[in-house]
Amino acid sequence: MSWVLFAVLAACAPEDSNEREVGGTNPPGETNSDTDDSSTPECTPVDYYLDADHDGFGAGDLLSACDPVDAADVDGDCDDANADVHPDQTDGCNGVDDDCDLDLDEDGTTAEYFLDADGDGFGDAEAPTVEGCGLISGYAAVAGDCDDGNGAVSPGVDEDWTDGIDDNCDGVLEIETPVDVAEARGNSWDAPTADRTKLRIFGVYEAGAAKHEVAVTHDVPEAVILVLASYDPVNWIVTETYPGTIQRIIMSGPGAGSVSGPKDVPVDTYVGGMAWGYAYDFDDAGARTIIEKAEDLTGVPMTSFHGNYNPRSFTISPGVEWMDTSAYPDCSKKLTGKTGGVPDIGALDPTACADVLENEHICVTGQNKTITAFGLDSGASCTAATTPNSFMDSRAPSIMWSDEWVYACTGEDGMLQRASLITGDVEKTFLYCTGVASLDGQLYVFDFSSSAFGSDVPVYDTWENAQCGAPTFYADGTSNSRIAIHGGVLYSTWHSTDEFEWQVLGGTESGAVTFEDYDGWIWGIDVTDDAWLVAITEDGISSYDLDGKLLGTVESPYAEYGLGCTVQ
């Protein structure tokens, strides 16, 4: 037992008397190298909050460390990933709690928002608004939408000038308006049409400006097709006040012309020869050709026709009122009327024409707007009527007097018209002619430019039938330009001659008679019931019998054209 105890004690004894226990007390002046920290400062931990976004405010639990990083002394940051969010921040109007006080946008400035029912980004200024700090669903920050039920309508979109809608809300809506074309001359046409796109036609003979240019300015808020027709080559310069209003440009002429128009506007050219022909007056036959071809090509009815012989420009501006088209026929209505009669001397003013009415043989003739009555027996004259526009001229000097009306073909291949000796009012047809005569109250309408001996001439029972081109039958024609009918015989002369010709209508008999002591210009003829052939000559108004013998001449103080005569 003693031996075992000795062994245990020996095993526990230190190996070296100089070894000391760890942590024991060292003698003065000695140190323990295992615990020597004389080169490291003492650690003083600090408290802090983690500040990941370095905005001076931390978030989360309070931490402690000697040398903390991403640290802030104070907490309260409600979004430590956003340096713009912290308690010292001003709370803006952005839907974010910028100052971390659990209130949103209390320091922000609110704005007015407009109901945007169609979601096009523009609100209705007339609808109730809301105040908000930031855009609100269903509302827009700007107003100006003039149709908040149509998402295709709002400021800034391209205007469609064919839909009758103010697409871009600029207050300019396509309008149905008459136009004013200050440079137009002669007879025009300007009447409303049902189609939204307008067909406006301009006719010239030649350009009046240098370089063969004619400027056309379209200053009307409407969709329009422009037709530009000329006799000579013209360089058309076309502009528009309202972008997109001109849908198409059609040029017709003999060639070598051009069109400069708005970008992307299609231009069709019909050139060569006379193309569609030309006209600068609505009442000329050429105008009807251009109108018919333009309507057939576009499928749009004509709205207006304006012309000028040699303009420098046309400016198309909104007008005040549509033209009075009552002088022209409405051929959509049922044709009614009565056959014409004989000249009515009662239509002459009994006071102004008192001296004329004392004559047995009385004729009417005229120039431009004035219709004059002459007494062939005394030479007395008076103004019988004054028409609003030019009614007779030298290019169509064959007229006819029936009832109160004087009938004439106005202008070069112009429209058949009639003027009242009582009122001066004018009625028109869509017939183009160079002469007109009457037999048994029926109207014989001649066009010597296309007629020849024996060719068909349309005959109309009534004026209404003539207005709409509904002839009853066709009769013999003539290539002469001065015509009259009496007793079933057609009398005619050329413009410069020493004779007149005759032919039985519907028969084969014909012949020619020489004027006694005359060979020169003739500006109109007629035959009276007592067989006087009356002619306007260079000497005045001369009367002959049907054998050509001169019966007498009265002087005319005017250059008169056409004759319609009667015997009382």
State the Cα–Cα distance between residues 433 and 412, nearest whole angstrom. Answer: 8
Which one of 283, 318, 353 terminates a domain? 318
CA distance 426 to 8: 156
If asked whether residues 473 and 351 sit together in one domain, one would say yes
Question: CA-to-CA distance for 150 and 154, rounded, in angstroms?
Answer: 8
Rounded mean pLDDT, 360-377: 93
Strand partners, 216: 238, 314
Q: Rounded CA gap, 423 and 377, in Å?
A: 27
Specify if 548 maps to a domain. yes
- Count CB atoms within 10 A of the CB of residue 84: 12
Residue 87, exposed/middle/buried by CB under 10 A (0-12, 13-18, 19+)? Answer: middle
Residue 224 and residue 195: Cα distance in Å, rounded? 10
Q: Phi then psi for 6, rounded to 5 degrees?
A: -65, -45
Residue 540 lies in a domain: yes
Task: Calculate ∠ Cα 283-284-285, nearest 5°.
Answer: 120
For the stretch 460-518, pLDDT in tens is 999 989 988 889 999 888 888 899 999 999 999 998 999 999 999 988 999 999 999 99
Residues 260 and 212 in one domain: yes
Residue 83 in any domain: the answer is: no
Residue 71 lies in a domain: no
- The pLDDT of residue 411 is 60
Residue type, 520: G
Asked if the structure places residue 351 within a domain, the reply is yes
CA 203, chain centre distance (Å)? 16
Res 309 pLDDT > 90: yes
Q: What was the pLDDT predicted at 10?
A: 42
Q: Do both 391 and 477 map to the same domain?
A: yes
Tokens of 446: 């001649």
Of the listed ranges 32-41, 159-168, 419-428, 480-489, the one predicted with least confidence? 32-41
Q: How many residues does the chain have?
A: 568
Mean pLDDT of 441-456: 69
List the one residue out of 551, 520, 517, 521 whose CA is nearest residue 533. Answer: 551
Q: Which of 92-96, 451-455, 551-555 has maximum average pLDDT?
A: 551-555
**Same-domain status, 402 and 472:** yes
Residues 395 and 526 in one domain: yes
Judge if 549 and 444 occupy the same domain.
yes
pLDDT band at residue 16, thresholds of 50, 70 and 90? very low
CA atoms within 13 A on the CB side of 160: 9
| Integer Cα distance of 104 and 79 in angstroms | 14
pLDDT (mean) for 285-313 = 94
User: Which range, of 31-45, 66-80, 257-271, 320-334, averages the lowest pLDDT?
Assistant: 31-45
Q: What is the pLDDT of residue 409?
A: 87
Identify the pLDDT of residue 558: 67
The reported pLDDT for the residue numbered 13 is 45
Task: Identify the residue whose tokens are 């970008």.
Answer: 263
Amino acid 165: pLDDT: 87
Tally of domains within the chain: 3
- Mean pLDDT, the chain, integer: 87
**More confident position, 335 or 103:** 103
Give pLDDT tens digits for 133-154: 777 889 999 999 999 999 999 9
Q: Is the domain of 524 the same as that of 463?
A: yes
Q: Please indicate, yes or no, whether residues 422 and 557 belong to a single structural domain of this protein.
A: yes
Q: In what order do the strands lie in the sheet with 213-218?
A: 179-181, 313-318, 213-218, 235-240, 258-260
Q: Tell whether 381 is covered by a domain.
A: yes
**Residue 30 — very low, low, confident or very high, per pLDDT cuts 50/70/90?**
very low
Please check whether residues 362 and 507 belong to one and the same domain: yes
User: How far apart, in whole angstroms, are the C-alpha atoms of residue 221 and residue 203?
Assistant: 22
pLDDT tens-digit map of 231-281: 999 999 999 999 999 999 999 988 889 999 999 999 999 988 778 988 999
6 within a domain of the structure (yes/no): no
Structure tokens at 247: 């849908």
- Mark whether 302 and 353 lie in a shared domain: no
* Cβ-Cβ contacts under 8 Å for 357 (sequence gap 6 or more): 345, 348, 350, 375
What SS3 string covers 33-44? HHHCCCCCCCCC
Q: Domain check: are 372 and 481 in the same one?
A: yes
Supply the DSSP string of 488-510, one letter for each residue.
TEEEEE-SEESEEEEEETTSS-E
pLDDT tens figures, 257-267: 999 999 999 99
Quote the CA–CA distance of 283 and 388 in Å, as a whole number.
Answer: 14
Distance of alpha carbon 324 from alpha carbon 191, whole angstroms? 8
Instruction: Point out the domain boundary residue: 155, 170, 197.
Output: 155
- Tell me, yes or no, whether 59 lies in a domain: no
**Threshold 0.95, pTM exceeds:** no
Q: pLDDT tens digits for 378-397?
A: 999 999 999 988 888 777 78
Give one DSSP letter per residue of 74-102, joined into a string: ----S-TT-TT-STTS---SSSS-TTSSS
Residue 534 and residue 427 share a domain? yes
User: d(Cα 470, Cα 89) in Å, to the nearest integer?
Assistant: 92
CATH of residue 530's domain is 2.120.10.80
Beta strand pairing call for 540-545 and 550-554: antiparallel
Residue 548's alpha-carbon distances to 119, 365, 505, 528, in angstroms, are: 90, 22, 21, 14
Instruction: Note down the domain range covering 560.
Output: 345-567
